[in-house]
Amino acid sequence: MKTDSRSVRDLFDAAVVLDAGARRAFLDQHCTDPAQRARIEALLAADEDTHEPLQADGFERIIKAIGPERPQDALPPGSHVGPFDLLEVIGEGGSSTVFRAVRDIEGATQQVALKLMRRGLYSPEAQRLFRREQRALIQLRHPNIARMIEGGVHESGLPYIALELVEGSTITDFARARGLELDERLRLFGVVCAAVEAAHRALIVHRDLKPSNVLVTEDGEVKLLDFGIAKLLAEEDESARTQMPAFTPAYAAPEQRDDGPITTATDVYALGVLLGELVTGERVNDGSGRTPSSRITNDNPGTGAATLTSITRRQVRGDLDAIILKALDADPARRYASAGRLADDIERLLARQPVSAQIPSRWYRTRKFMLRHKGGVASTVAFLLAILAALGMALWQARLAREQAALAERATVRANTTLDFIVDLLATASADLPKADRPTPEALVAQAAKNAREDSDLDPLVRAQLFTTLAEVARSNGDNRQAERLINEAIVHLHEQGSSAASPEWIAAMVSKGNLLHDTDRTAEADSLMKGLLPVLDGVDTEGAVSALLLYAATRAYADDADGAVEIGHRALKKAQRVFGADSIDSVSTAAFLGQVFSKLNRYADSEVLLTEAITRWRRLGLPRNETLARNLYHLARSKYRLGKFNEVEALYTEGNALMRSVGAAPYFRLSQGLRGYAEFLIDMERFDQAKAALDESRQIDIETRGAQSADAGLTLQLLARWHRQRHELVAAERLYQSTHAVFAAHVEQVGLQWELERTRLHWSRTLIELGRHDQAAALLDEAKAGLARINSPADVGNADAHCIAGQLAVARGQPELALGEIDNGLAIVQALDIPDKTSEIDCRVQRTNALMALRRSREARAEAELAFTRQQATNPVATLKLTTLLALRTRAEQADNDAAAAARSIAQARTLAAPTLLLAEQDRATLGL
């Protein structure tokens, strides 16, 4: 019978899955060459014992390869080997015994794992090769590789090596016992790769990487064992290469099984097997052709090593599949060039960056680019990121349909049609086009909606989901009218499809509708919508249900229902932890959002606690240093700012802005938000030059990414006006408030801009009062009051400011009694709110001082001025310009009370502050004699 032409590896792979009787019959039929059959049978025998005792299967194979077969009886415990005393046997292999052994070194006891071979080294060549391997191992130093301490030959001729004694579990057992999540396993595997890479740089190949040779201590420290079978690549000779290779078949590369050359790619293959087993619980090189992710079922995530985790097929599918399969390529040239390159891809995967293992298709590169650089093509194609969710739905349906053969062809057409639709849109929005020729986001949304309506191949449910997605895109671009048309269209389609209230697509549509209502200052309607959805949410653990609860928490906060907002927010957090896992990026982000809700409720201390904990967990878990983390840093900075913890604010803004710069290609529109927050802080700290630099950069980003008349540009203009006003440059401030007002009036339907419009009117009217333009100020103030009445409760800080500015106007018009009533109403509101930020209270007390002086109640005016100064000194003692202004006010009150001595002390105190004289108001300079 002719011998089968297949390789040793192919024959082994076919035989290893058979039972003993079937194996014999298979080999009788396909392998009549005695030498080839002996080799395959040896491999099969070795495969039966792939979980050998720790440290018991490596170095002896070198001895088998280089020394004559003269087996000796193992030495008993209590014997002396070199300087070591053998204590107990901790492992045995076919050709060696491993002992726990000790020796004394200068009064200290050193424990080692001593491996004693059962065959001696008697020939000069055998001893030369042994010394060569010993030198290589002693020179190998890495914190994650078990160190070889020394080696030698016992008087009986038996060679031994003493290795660092490692107490720990195999990496797969450790991951299983600790219930490690996927990212934790990947980071652990990255440490293994780094250690192997270090050995490769020392020209040493392990050749037998497997779980039992990768231990993890109780403290989580990785240690690689048994580099004893390695050879020095630079010194390898032909005689050694002809010997029987040493490896464990289950983890061996094809070239090992086929007696091919051993290189660093051999270890890369074993690392691929190890990685597959670490994330799926199975060895993935069984020749079945299945992808690693296909071994995980949604109902039974991760068997074996993956048990006790929430690792899902979705997490492994795609990039991680590609990484493992690249490492396992049968051709060494197509694997990773080194363990370091494999580690690099793991790092990129953890950072949500493109990996080299993925086939670089147009679809893949575009998706990865947009996920990582949302701002790089922000003005035209950033919106397509959201549409990818709709494509994902179509592809998911196609996968389900492929499992139901009758629907396969039709579903595949639908998925491909959706993919073609998105790729066509990307082509029309190419960043290579001149800016003037690129379609606007609004045009792209309109085209996508038109295609969705006209595409007869789209499943009705997919069409409805696509409308929901497009509505979200339109809303994010500020096109709320288009968003409302689209979401209403989605709801109609879902009604026609009979979608239940608990279905994911219905919840997603309701959340989208609620967000739109909330954004367009119809918060009461959004609140009612989410309240109606609440009964079904308890029984639904999905991402959409988490989003719905978060929105309801926000609408409760806007309704000043603090208790309700907090209770719903905590429900959202608990659900997020169930849906995503307690330590997932989504759960941490949900906790951070709850911190933002607390901030909206003016509960800055609670906000600080939640955000600090969320960011601490983020760092501890090694989650990506990305845009979400940057935004959380911004919010924490703002809470600390409102709490008066000024010395902690700057570092948070600095880190957040640095992260934003690294996330998006310049100019990145989201960086503008951080620059504005930082500038506001700097203005209050009266670091005007730095504040102006931040605002100028923010303004440039706004113009390049959003346009000079965008809402973001308006927010920056508003701060620039404040910058001038705080420096008493009133003409410049008034001109900028006018520009800001025009921008916000054009975008008033966007979320929060009604409040920004009214706040601009308040500051603008105050500036006009100080410029003596009282009638214009009065008209603006009336508009602001009417607008605030529509969006705020009467007991809101905006209404308090309106009362105080009305009092300022009344004083300017010679109506101090009227002024005092308005100011006292405003002061009562801010005192009842009891917020840490005392700016509004201080401003009210300044106006109250002026009103009292106009009424010639100078003693009361002095007390009011002193209280304003004390509040400012307690909340922001570094603002010397503001303090000097308040001292000038106090001086005038003291002069009105005919207390010259007190006035002189106030003037002296003001001069010690050394505020920049040119930035003081003319009246204050005159009062202080500056």
pLDDT in tens, 833-850: 877 778 999 999 999 999
More confident residue, 288 or 859: 859
Specify the pLDDT at position 262: 83
Is residue 721 a contact partner of residue 737, using CB atoms and an 8 Å limit? yes
Q: Is residue 710 part of a domain?
A: no
Label residue 65 by pLDDT band (50, 70, 90).
very low
The rounded distance, in Å, linking the Cα atoms of 197 and 431 is 39
State whether 193 and 302 are in the same domain.
Answer: yes
Select the more confidently predicted residue: 256 or 693: 693
CB 186 within 8 A of CB 347: no
pLDDT digits (tens, 9 = 90+) for 298-355: 444 444 444 445 687 778 877 898 899 899 988 888 899 889 999 999 998 898 887 8
> Is the pLDDT at 67 greater than 80, yes or no?
no
Domain count, the chain: 7
- Taking the CA atoms of residue 182, residue 184, residue 188 and residue 191 in that order, the dihedral angle to the nearest 10 degrees is 110
Distance in angstroms (rounded) separating the CA atoms of residues 396 and 402: 10
pLDDT of residue 92: 76
Q: Are residues 373 and 481 in the same domain?
A: yes
Distances (CA, A) of 555 to 519, 526, 638, 663: 11, 7, 21, 31
Task: Give percent of the chain with pLDDT exceeding 90.
Answer: 37
Q: List the domain range (segments joined by +) for residue 536.
A: 500-576
pLDDT tens per residue across span 466-520 = 888 888 878 876 678 888 999 999 999 899 888 888 888 899 999 999 988 887 7
**Confidence band of 576 (pLDDT split at 50, 70, 90):** confident
- The DSSP result for 220-252, as a single string, is --EEE--GGG--BGGG--HHHHTSPP---GGG-
The region, left, alpha or beta by phi > 0 then psi within -120 to 50, assigned to residue 82 is left
Asked whether residue 522 falls in the same domain as residue 562, the answer is yes
Q: Is residue 752 part of a domain?
A: no
Question: What confidence tens digit (pLDDT) does each residue in 579-635 have?
Answer: 877 777 778 888 888 888 887 777 888 899 999 999 998 888 777 788 888 988 999
Token reading at 385: 């990121």
Tell me whether residue 21 is in a domain.
yes
Taking the C-alpha atoms of residue 403 and residue 405, their distance in angstroms, rounded to an integer, is 6
Residue 717 lies in a domain: no
Query: In terms of domains, do 40 and 145 share one?
Result: no
pLDDT value for 17: 53
Whether 816 has a pLDDT exceeding 60, the answer reads yes
Q: So what's the pLDDT on residue 401?
A: 41
Read off the pLDDT of each residue in 422-429 and give the average, rounded to a whole number: 49
Domain-located, residue 866: yes
Tell me: do 558 and 494 sit in the same domain: no
Lowest mean pLDDT among 248-257, 565-574, 746-755: 746-755
Instruction: Please give the Cα distance from 618 to 10 (Å, whole number).
Output: 47
Residue recorded with tokens 């204590």 = 87
Is the model's pLDDT at 48 over the cut of 70?
no
What integer pLDDT is reported at residue 242 of this predicted model? 31
Whole-number pLDDT of residue 520? 74
97 vs 114: CA distance, rounded Å: 8
The answer on 74 and 41 residing in a single domain is no
The reply to whether 532 falls in a domain is yes
pLDDT in tens, 849-908: 999 999 999 999 999 999 999 999 998 999 999 999 999 999 999 999 999 999 999 999
Q: Which long-range contacts (CB under 8 A, 24 or more apart) does 601-605 make?
A: 601/557, 601/562, 601/565, 601/566, 602/833, 602/835, 603/562, 604/639, 604/642, 604/643, 604/835, 604/836, 605/643
Q: Which residues contact 494 (CB under 8 A, 6 or more apart)?
A: 461, 464, 505, 506, 509
Q: Give yes or no: residues 416 and 534 share one domain.
A: no
Q: Assess if residue 639 is contained within a domain.
A: yes
What residue type is assigned to position 95 of the chain?
A: S
- The CATH number for 518's domain is 1.25.40
Residues for the chain: how many in total?
A: 930
* 494 in the same domain as 504: no
Please check whether residue 852 is in contact with residue 858, taking contact to mean a CB–CB distance below 8 angstroms: yes
Domain-located, residue 755: no
Sheet hosting strand 169-170, strand order edge to edge: 169-170, 214-216, 222-224
DSSP string, 415-471: HHHHHHHHHHHHHHT-TTS-GGGSPPHHHHHHHHHHHHHH-TTS-HHHHHHHHHHHH
Same domain, yes or no, for 320 and 184? Answer: yes
Q: pLDDT at residue 912 above 50? A: yes
The pTM of the full predicted model, rounded to 2 decimals, is 0.53
Residue 293 has pLDDT above 70, yes or no: yes
Verify that 353 and 420 share a domain, yes or no: no
Question: Checking DSSP bridges between strand 169-170 and strand 214-216, what pairing results, if any?
Answer: antiparallel
**What pLDDT is attached to residue 795?**
60
Token pair, residue 628, equals 């979400």
Q: Return d(Cα 317, Cα 291) in angstroms, integer.
A: 8
Question: Do both 182 and 301 map to the same domain?
Answer: yes
pLDDT at 662: 84
Picking from 447, 464, 498, the residue at the C-terminal end of a domain is 498
Place of tokens 């004693």: 116
Tell me the HSE value of 563 on the side-chain side, using a 13 A CA sphere.
Answer: 0
Positive or negative, the CA dihedral 7, 13, 15, 16 is positive
**Could you tell me the CATH number of the domain that includes residue 114?**
3.30.200.20
Alpha helix ranges (H) inside 855-899: 858-875, 880-896
Domain endpoint, select from 470, 498, 526: 498
How far apart are alpha carbons 350 and 370 in whole angstroms? 17
Could you read off the pLDDT of 124-164 as tens digits, one per residue? Answer: 666 666 776 676 677 778 889 988 888 888 877 788 888 88
* Nearest-angstrom CA–CA distance, 399 and 498: 23
- pLDDT, position 115: 86
Confidence bin at 381 (pLDDT 50/70/90): very low
More confident residue, 667 or 808: 808
pLDDT in the model for residue 1 = 40
Query: CA torsion sign, 182 to 185 to 191 to 196?
Result: negative
Between 2-11, 597-606, 698-707, the lowest mean confidence (pLDDT) is in 2-11
The residue among 252, 197, 202 whose CA lies nearest residue 57 is: 252
Residue 4 pLDDT grade (very low, low, confident, very high; cuts 50, 70, 90) = low
Where among 498, 531, 546 does a domain terminate? 498
Query: What's at 222, amino acid-wise?
Result: V
Spatial distance between the Cα atoms of 465 and 665, rounded to a whole number of angstroms? 31
Between 604 and 436, whose confidence is greater? Answer: 604
Q: What b/e string do you get for 277-315 counting C-beta neighbours within 10 Å, with b at 16 or more?
A: bbbbbbbbbeeeeebbbebbeeeebbeebbeebbbbbeb
- Quick: pLDDT tens for 190-199: 999 999 998 8
Q: Is 730 exposed, middle or buried (0-12, 13-18, 19+ CB in 10 A)?
A: middle
Supply the mean pLDDT for the chain: 80
Q: What is the pLDDT of residue 462?
A: 77
DSSP symbols for 305-353: GGTTS---HHHHTTHHHHHHHHHT-SSGGGS-SSHHHHHHHHHHHHTT-
Type of residue numbered 720: L
Looking at the structure, tell me whether residues 299 and 401 fall in a common domain: no
| CB 863 within 8 Å of CB 877 | no
Domain containing residue 317: CATH number: 1.10.510.10
Confidence of residue 202 (pLDDT cuts 50, 70, 90): confident
Q: Which of 431, 9, 567 has its CA nearest to residue 250?
A: 9
